[in-house]
Amino acid sequence: MSKIKSRILSAILALVCVVGILPTVPALAASSDTGGYAMSGAYQIVYSDASCTTQIGSIGNYEGLTVLYTSGNVAKINYSTASSGSGKTGFLKNPNFRINNISTTCVGTVRNNVTVYGGPQIASALQLGSLSSGEIVSVIYSESGWYYVEYNTTAGRKRGYVQAAYIAAEYPSRLKGFPQSNGAIIPSPEGLREQPVYGGPSEEYATIGEIFDNEPVSVYAIVDNGQDAWYYIGYRVSGYPKFGYILIHS
């Protein structure tokens, strides 16, 4: 019995020695709100790594982005570029966010190739584009088997609806339901024959359609980005409800 105990003790001591010589992996001191949607509050340099020494790109003022995590004064982000439809990942030093919704949104990863729609239903008239497996998105809302996401394109960021089963969301418990309509308006001022609909609450976003003078729309939310106010609206395309953002004209 004493020999068995001696062997067990020796094995334990050997294991401790092995663990002691293994290199330690420092824990990332990321915030508890690891990531989600944000809008840049200034022109900012994007760096290749967390030491923020090598520039790989930039993001503009009012540009949407996905925050993957923050650690101290550094944020790891995913953002749109003109050269890659799936976007690019990099780091910001002392990030400046005009809008920071990482407590109510979350990061999502696309599980399989999927179509993005302009409304929470499958209809060819509502197709905005597509996402490929592995792409990173910001998940904004969740309801009835659908996620409302913001994603990268070569023309700028867009928002649209994706079946939730195709997205692995990091913190789905944060998400709220889709906004409810606040009524109908006639958005276009006199003399403005048509008005672009944007994929997000800024002219930095890609356009996804247009509405015409005196065309009635439903208003779901008002977003103030610090300079302009935007309506998140629903309007009709081939009989189907499509959603996007228009600038509120005074």
**Is residue 130 assigned to a domain?**
yes
- Do 95 and 66 reside in the same domain of the chain? yes
CA 117 to mean position of chain CA atoms: 16
Compute the distance between CA of residue 214 and CA of residue 44 in angstroms, rounded to an integer.
Answer: 39
Tokens of 192: 């403005």
Whether residue 42 is contained in a domain is answered as yes
Q: Which tens digits make up the pLDDT trace of 18-72?
A: 333 233 323 333 444 589 999 999 999 999 999 999 999 999 999 999 999 999 9
CA dihedral of 42, 60, 149, 241, whole degrees rounded to 10: 110
Q: pLDDT tens digits, residue range 157-187?
A: 999 999 999 999 999 999 999 999 887 666 5
Q: How many domains does the chain have?
A: 3
Residue 127 lies in a domain: yes
Min mean pLDDT across 74-88, 92-106, 178-192 is at: 178-192
Residue numbers of the domain that contains 115: 106-174
- Domain with residue 236: its CATH number is 2.30.30
Which of the listed residues 139, 174, 209 is the one where a domain comes to its end?
174
Q: Specify the CATH number for the domain of residue 153.
A: 2.30.30.40
CA–CA gap between residue 148 and residue 196 (Å, rounded)? 20
The C-alpha atoms of residue 147 and residue 176 are separated, in whole angstroms, by 10
Q: Tell me whether residue 28 is in a domain.
A: no
Residue 4 counted as domain residue:
no
